[in-house]
Amino acid sequence: MDTNTLTTLYSGFDLETPVGNNAFSFDARKNRTLHVPALVTGTLQHLAIGRSIAFSEVVDGVELNRLGLERFVHFEQDGKQFFVFDNHNHAFFFWMAGYRAGCLKAGRTLLHVDQHSDMREPPSYPNFSLARFSLEEVFAYTNRVLNVGNFIRPALALNIFSDVEFVESTASFASLFSGDYVLDIDIDVFADEMAYIDEDLKKQRISQYIEATDFVTIATSPFFMDQQRALALVRDLLRPWSV
């Protein structure tokens, strides 16, 4: 997969107005800037916590500011594409980029492993289609319209995916999904609130899901997960495919 255009767009930038993820509690926050890091083609060794705030929200009158990743990382191994990033809405861009590159076949199921459904309605739907789009407009839509909770419905509307299967419960982790899917993982499925599901079972199933697909997106979710723990989990899950 040629990532030149991807890395040109994802070269590291700040959101300074109330758009995308920066719209959450914008007027109530002292911090008004979120950083989106650069994308690199690398290895798991390139994963590190950054020094800039990636997500801000006011909860019960308290402003919570969370650091994100130092960089987003893409790598290819065993015919599989892997993208690791912090806030989950970026998955939308990487799906579209994968489709444009011929690495992601449209019309498959999205297997969504996550504490949350991320199925909220976006403020607006794309004014582009799978038949006609530029990565520049997908990039703008991903970062200025979408947020961490509303990026799946637009993908379904564009027919990137025909359906979505949610893996977020004891019952769903107990069964091994066998369809043709793209795998989307939010590491917050390992958050304390999800500790009622056996951690070894979650790791085992996710490894099996990775083995059976060719396109994987992984969000480290700074607002919901300590990023040191998130990166340790990512490294553990992806070790069999690391380079």
Averaged in consecutive runs of 10 residues, what is the pLDDT profile of the chain (243 residues)? 89 98 98 98 96 97 98 96 98 98 97 97 97 97 98 98 96 89 98 96 96 97 97 97 81
Q: Are 161 and 96 in contact (CB under 8 A)?
A: no
Beta-carbon neighbour count of residue 107 at 10 Å?
11
- Identity of the amino acid at 130: L
What is the reported pLDDT for 2?
78
24 by DSSP, 3-state: which? Answer: coil
pLDDT at position 176 is 85
* pLDDT for residue 225: 97
CA pair distance 136, 6, nearest whole angstrom: 9
- Residue 175: per-residue pLDDT: 84
Give the Cα separation of 54 and 58 in Å (integer): 14
Structural fold of domain 73-241 = Arginase; Chain A (3.40.800)
Predicted pLDDT of residue 144: 98
Q: In the prediction, which pLDDT does 4 show?
A: 85
CA 196 to chain centre: 23
Domain ranges in the chain are 73-241
